[in-house]
Amino acid sequence: MSSRSGTDDERHFALWSGKQARMPIGSPRVLIAHEDKLIGESLAALLRLTGLQVMHTQSLKSARSLLQNWKPQALILDTRLDSESGYAFINALRPDADITGRLLVAISNIWPADPIETLKDAGFDAHCRRPCATWRLAEMLTTYFSIPQRRQY
């Protein structure tokens, strides 16, 4: 993937955290918790092409179990799953994410439905607005995990 410019606007995409991943043995693991099965599975399939291990779930209950047992280094969360609770799920994950270096990424509603300050205060490290440009997520994760970019021909 090449570096792309264009709509580099914090309202659409941003990485706020400067934390770096502790490199796991083998491929980094990413959990996508997305309400829409087709979108979540599509994101997972595309991110696997970058060399990541990726799983998708549609519920916070399943996400909680996968976080405890599979121990992914990144969580990409559809904010619709947690916003009604005031982001209680993300707030509960924040202390562990600080210790483990887990990246917490929001796939958020269109602005202003999910204000940037609310996402930051909830504990997210980054966000991408729906509809989310997959290349942005892939580029952010490959950079975060220091994965060499594959040449596009």
pLDDT in tens, 103-125: 999 998 876 678 889 999 999 99
Helical H runs in 1-153? 37-48, 60-69, 88-100, 116-122, 134-144
Torsion of CA 137, 140, 144, 147, to 10 degrees: 80
Per the listing, tokens 């502790």 go with 22
pLDDT score for 146: 77
pLDDT score for 21: 62
The pTM of the full predicted model, rounded to 2 decimals, is 0.86
Torsion of CA 112, 101, 136, 134, to 10 degrees: -90
For residue 152, report the phi and psi dihedrals to the nearest 5 degrees.
Answer: -100, 125
Question: Is a pLDDT exceeding 50 seen at residue 6?
Answer: no
Question: Is a pLDDT exceeding 60 seen at residue 143?
Answer: yes
pLDDT score for 1: 38
Rounded Cα gap, residues 30 and 50, in angstroms: 12
